[in-house]
Structure 1
Amino acid sequence: MKPKTLALVHTSATLVPIFAQLCKEKLPGVATFNIVDDSLVRAIGARGALTADIARRVAGYIESAEAGGADHVLVTCSSIGPAVEAAAPFVAVPVLRVDQPMADRAVAHGGRIGVVATLPTTLHPTVDLVRRRAAIAGREIEATARLCEGAFEALMAGDGATHDAIVSAALKELGSEVDIVLLAQASMARVVDALPAEERRIPILASPPIAIEYLASQL
């Protein structure tokens, strides 16, 4: 039997090795290939929103993934999530936005859900996704959004320590306000690994491992 093939569409090359390791661990029999365009997020930042022209480009990459032989497509950027959902019906293979399995897990946990992001263009789509997935599941939730101002700029300037400190402070603050926290960007996942055990009083969910675990059940 021909092995399944997973295409991963990224808006940052830094995510390629992170997902490559996860796929190696959890999808050992699945072939993968990557499509990367880091200009997408810059364009969203410049326009202040996910615009129609950017959404068309996202759709084009998903179509290219299908044409490249993908049996399943994973888009690893939350900022373009709405474009991913809009494009999915126009290809013949399943398409997954990276944060959907994470949102579903948080909704199943229920109660007060915190969402942390370093970009407003990522924060709002993720909060919207959580609320919509809760409605589909028939669950009552309260979503609290927290923007880590300055963290993204620090990361882009090569100052990972400042980025991590800002995100860590937000996670610590939210720990007393919510029951579970979602990291809206895959790039924030590394911060959780460095948190002392005493600061992980509530579950903190990162999308990359949860998305790959979900795909393992599908592929």
Structure 2
Amino acid sequence: MHVPTFTDLLARLAPGTVATHAVDEALLRDAQANGHAHPAIVGRVQAAVRALADQGARVVLCTCSTVGGAAEATPTAGTFTAARIDRAMADRAVELGPRVLVVAALQSTLAPTAALIAESAHRLGRPVQLRQHWVEGAWAHFEAGQREAYQRTIADAVRAAVGDAGVVVLAQASMAGEADALHDL
């Protein structure tokens, strides 16, 4: 869904990196319907990760927060690296915390992102007070290609929900554009 976003990021941050993008929208829909930890979902994610490694990928980076945990947990036998894009974000949120607000346009992203932040807090030995906020209706704008409405809906929801949070985590790559609009928080 975000191939141009990640192509641009790679060109800017790691020029010359050869990348293959694999998008499985049906997998995301199934994860939304059945849960990110459902054995069938985990199996499909890990099969997709292994397939990319079998095609020669040395690093498989999952950019989907909903299924990132399953991707990262793929057994690699030391032949490739399986990673999730949001791990560094979770670590940074914990470092800046302790009051963290996780905001997502997809309800299915909240639980895996909260679990990742809790895991980071445990690993880093830092306390965290986590709140979650689903921006109901925002994803419909994204799917309809209504970028301005998507951004406005998310920005308005963050402003309404921020409260005493010291850190706001925009839990999906599709939300990155909203960060600039929220710098004043």
Q: TM-score, normalised by structure 2?
A: 0.91
Mapped to 2, the partners of 1:163 and 1:99 lie a distance apart of 21
Q: Deviations over 1:38-79 (max 9, x none)?
A: 111111223355422121111111111111211211000011
Q: CA deviation at 1:143?
A: 0.8
CA offsets, 1:142-172, max 9 Å, x none?
Answer: 1111110011122223333332222011221
> What does 1:192-207 align with in structure 2 at a 5 Å threshold?
192-193=179-180, 195=181, 199-202=182-185
Question: Alpha carbon RMSD of aligned pairs, Å?
Answer: 1.8
Residue of structure 1 equivalent to 2:30: 43
Residue 131 of structure 1 is matched in structure 2 by 118
Q: Corresponding residue for 1:5?
A: none
* Same amino acid, percent of matched pairs: 34
Structure 1: which 5+ runs fail to align?
1-11, 203-219
- Check whether the contact 1:113–1:142 (CA below 8 A) recurs between aligned residues: yes
In structure 1, how many angstroms separate the alpha carbons of the residues matched to 2:88 and 2:169? 11
Change (3 A) 1:18 1:74: same
The residue aligned with 2:95 is 108
Aligned residues: 185
Q: 1:141 maps to which residue? A: 128
Alignment of 1:1-219 (within 5 A): 12=1, 15-89=2-76, 92-193=79-180, 195=181, 199-202=182-185
Inter-partner Cα distance in structure 1 for 2:47 and 2:87 = 21
Aligned mates of 2:112, 2:49 — CA distance in 1: 19
Q: Tell me if the contact between 2:104 and 2:133 (Cα under 8 Å) persists in the aligned partners.
A: yes
Runs of 4+ deviating beyond 6 Å: none
Q: Deviations over 1:99-150 (max 9, x none)?
A: 1011011111122111000112101110111011110100011111111001
Q: Deviations over 1:176-215 (max 9, x none)?
A: 420111111101112223x1xxx4234xxxxxxxxxxxxx
State the 1:82 CA deviation: 2.5
Query: How many angstroms does 1:88 deviate by?
Result: 4.2
* Kept in 2: contact 1:77–1:98 (CA 8 A): yes
Preserved CA contact (<8 Å) 2:73 2:82 = no
Q: Which moved more, 1:61-70 or 1:151-160?
A: 151-160
Please tell me whether the aligned partners of residues 175 and 201 of structure 1 are also in contact (alpha carbons under 8 angstroms): no
> Structure 2, unaligned stretches of length 5 or more?
none
Q: Which has the higher strand share?
A: 1
Mapped to 2, the partners of 1:75 and 1:148 lie a distance apart of 23
What is the CA–CA distance in structure 2 between the aligned matches of 1:164 and 1:131, rounded to whole Å?
27
Letter in 2 for 1:200: H
